A and B are shown apart, each in its own frame.
With several copies, the nearest count.
Chain A
Amino acid sequence: MKQYEYMAKGILAQYGIPIAPGQLVESPDAAAEAVRDLGPVALKAQVLVGGRGKAGGIQFAQTPQEGAHVAQHMLGMLLKGYRVEKLYAEQKLPIEKELYISVTTDRNAKKPLVMASSAGGVEIEDVSDDQIVKRHVDPAIGVLPYFGREMAQALGLHDVVFKEFSELVVKLYRIYREKDAELVEINPLAVVDGHLIAADARLNIDDSALYRHQDVARVDEGSDLEQKVHEIGLAYVELDGDIAVMANGAGMAMATLDAIQYFGGRPANFLDAGGGASVEPTAEALGVLVTMKPKAILVNIFGGITRCDDVAQAILQVRNTVGIPVPLVVRLVGTNEKEGVALLNEAGIQAYSDMAEAAERAVGLAKEAL
């Protein structure tokens, strides 16, 4: 779960990492007020996407009037597909130099990874590897100050910035660990008046660990529909095709999209009904697919924990309540396959056992519906 910049900075500040004075702004008046309080500001769109600056998501205001004017323009704008609803008005910093630092999990090494560069800023992705200092953390030890000093030295830092950077690494790792972060990133980590300050910040919290962070603000960056399906507890992503898809297991769901594409169709969504979903959430998920008004629906189930008869019951439940007014193709094999197929057949729904056949059929039906 991503945190907005202003939330991430709030957490950095709790851990004693310097941030610039700033205010959250949701109206032109508030923006004008912010300039009165802080002096010249950067107005930064609070959206969960990178490359915000280049896309016009960071603008400056010298006067309250200008602040109101800029905010008027920015609030409500679409930025890389995201609607801007909040701005963060931050005192404009006379940045001398931009560094980069992040702590994330290296899946291959299975360890936390601290990365830093003295060539920070928006171009960091283009910086060559030899300008980036990478160090893995032994999770049984964590990050002690010497670790930070060794990185500071590798970056060629000196004096005050050397010391501040060393301490910052310790704090940033504590955030990563104590907040169950997938990523905590400061870019740019600015040098202002010879001191370090976090000029931008990202913090992604591990969804699986949210239960132990009741104090962290909840953010769901999905579309309204995505949020609705997430609330049922299922993984869901909107796509731009016309064949709605439900499968069990993320890999199976991806393979189903692949199969649709393979036969020349276009999937409308990614929906993982879970490895062991029972009747109720499966029915709810299918209900959502119906509301999308696709040209066809493909349900692809290989029953392991998921029982085929449960899936069949969910399908019948949806058909008998909200109704399924689009062509439906069901592929059903595995645990309790016979029972499930029998249930569907009784209700006049054909069930395929071959995945390719089912996918091809769904694509065909969607084309006929054109």
Chain B
Amino acid sequence: MAILLTHQDRVIVQGITGNQGRFHTRQMLAYGTPVVGGVSPTKGGSNVEGVPVFDSVKEAVENTGATASIVFVPAPFAKDAAFEAMENGVRLIVMIPEHIPVQDSIDIVNRAKTTGSTIIGPNTFGVISPHERSKMGIMPNHIYQPGPVGVVARSGTLSYEIAFSLSQSDLGQTTVVGMGGDPVAGQTFITILEQFRHDPATQCVVMVGEIGGSAEEEAAEYLSVLGKPVVAYLAGRAAPAGKRMGHAGAIIERGKGTLESKEKALKAHGAEVVTMPWQVADAVRSALAR
């Protein structure tokens, strides 16, 4: 079992003829992802790694029945790509690019509420469901294995570190998903936790957070609803104090956003909070044993 991405999803790659698109199409195919098409305007009719290339998402969806898209186009074209996918009924859209203007992300994420699409990212490593042998993202293939742990992270490499240590401890994953590192993203800890709640295969959830924002504090209250053990690791204990966004930042945050406030909120709602990434696996093992 898994959340967000299952083997039933048929995946297209927007920007498939670029270096990144091409490379990760190969990686996704190698992992088992049913990549059924790619999109690259004026390159329609060609193929990449045996995958047919179309001029538009519309054409790709019509010809392949695609349900999901992973976007690799350069940041200035990302809004266009996301809207193209949404307006053509793609239900799951993984936005890999970083440096997408925040106003564009705001437009994408708010439009998705109307179209009903699920946006992962932007600036995410993507989503991988090891049981399903399917991934949409840029994560290394070999570090995951199927198992009972759901992982949700804000940061890419840090999640690899943790997924790898889980796998090495024989604690496989249902789904590992990156919310994305940008200020405005399609998912929050809460929306992902909701999904893990309804996935019977997920027995424990690992949250990988950071200083800044207040996503962890917002999520803390949901933990009592979740009904599954949570292990949290938050990076940034030694990080420099973030530079404040004027008075507005202070007014919005009102004391949230520090590592202390986050850890306190999570602990108060029953999460097991560890201080170093290599402590996650042991904490998960204990949680599963309880």
Interface residues of A (CB under 8 A from B): 50, 100, 102, 104-108, 110-113, 115, 124-125, 129, 132, 138-141, 144-146, 149-150, 152-153, 158-159, 162-163, 166, 177, 180, 182-183, 185, 187, 202, 204, 206-209, 211-212, 237, 239, 247-252, 254-255, 257-262, 267, 270, 275-276, 302-306, 333-335, 354-356
Contacts A115-B251, A208-B100, A255-B158; A356 near B42 (Cβ below 8 A): no
Residues of B within 8 A of A (CB): 20, 41-42, 44, 55-59, 75-77, 79-81, 83-84, 87, 98-104, 106-107, 109-111, 125, 138-140, 143, 153-161, 164, 181, 183-185, 188, 208, 210-211, 213-215, 218, 235-240, 244-252, 254, 275-278
* Distance in angstroms between the alpha carbons of A255 and B275 in the assembled complex: 9
Determine the chain B residues whose CB is within 8 A of the CB of A275 once the complex forms. Answer: 98, 125, 138, 156-157
| Partner among B59, B218, B244 whose Cβ is within 8 Å of the Cβ of A153 | B59
Asked if residues A146 and B83 are in contact (CB atoms below 8 Å), the reply is yes
Given contacts A140-B110, A162-B55, A180-B103, contact A124 B247 (CB under 8 A): yes
Q: Which residues of A are found within 8 Å of B106, using beta-carbon distances?
A: 105, 110-112, 139
Given contacts A50-B247, A204-B246, A251-B235, contact A105 B275 (CB under 8 A): no
What is the bound-complex CA distance between A242 and B188, given in angstroms?
Answer: 36
Q: Which residues of B contact A258 (CB under 8 A)?
A: 235-239, 275-276
Q: Which residue from B100, B109, B143, B249 sits with its C-beta under 8 Å from A183?
A: B249
B111 partner residues in chain A, CB cutoff 8 A: 140-141
Query: Could you list 19 further interchain pairs (A-B, Cβ under 8 angstroms) beyond the known A146-B80, A159-B42, A306-B157?
Result: A102-B247, A102-B251, A105-B184, A111-B106, A115-B252, A149-B56, A150-B56, A185-B246, A202-B246, A248-B157, A251-B156, A252-B155, A252-B157, A258-B236, A258-B276, A259-B276, A270-B239, A304-B156, A304-B160
Residues in B neighbouring A139, C-beta threshold 8 A: 103, 106-107, 110
Q: Given A124-B251, A149-B55, A304-B157: A204 and B240 within 8 A (CB)?
A: no
Taking CB atoms, residues of chain A closer than 8 Å to B160 are 302, 304, 334
Cβ A250 vs Cβ B181 within 8 A = yes
Ranked 7 nearest A-B pairs via Cβ: A251-B155, A249-B157, A251-B158, A146-B84, A209-B101, A252-B157, A254-B235
| Contact present for A182 and B102 (CB under 8 Å) | yes
Chain A residues lying within 8 Å of B213, measured Cβ to Cβ, are 107-108
Which single residue of chain B is at the shortest CB-CB distance from A142?
A: B83
Asked, given contacts A141-B111, A149-B41, A204-B246, whether A249 binds B155 with beta carbons under 8 Å apart, the answer is: yes
Chain B hits for A259, CB < 8 A = 276-277
Complex contact A125–B247 (CB within 8 A):
yes
B125 to chain A, nearest CB (A): 7
- Given A110-B184, A356-B276; A252-B161 close (CB under 8 Å): yes
| A258 CB to nearest chain B CB (Å) | 4
Query: Is A304 a contact partner of B140 (Cβ separation < 8 A)?
Result: yes
Complex contacts, B249 vs chain A, CB 8 Å: 104, 183
B140 and A334 contacting across the interface, CB-CB below 8 Å: yes
Contacts of B87 in A (CB 8 A): 141, 146
Q: Once the chains are docked, how many angstroms separate the CA of A303 from the CA of B246?
A: 36
Give the CA-CA distance A355 to B154 in the complex, in Å. 20
Q: Tell me the nearest residue of chain A to B245, going by C-beta.
A: A183
Chain A CB within 10 A, most for which of B59, B245, B248: B248
Residues of A within 8 A of B109 (CB): 110
A-B contacts, 6 of them at CB < 8 A, read A104-B252, A129-B254, A206-B102, A260-B238, A304-B138, A305-B20
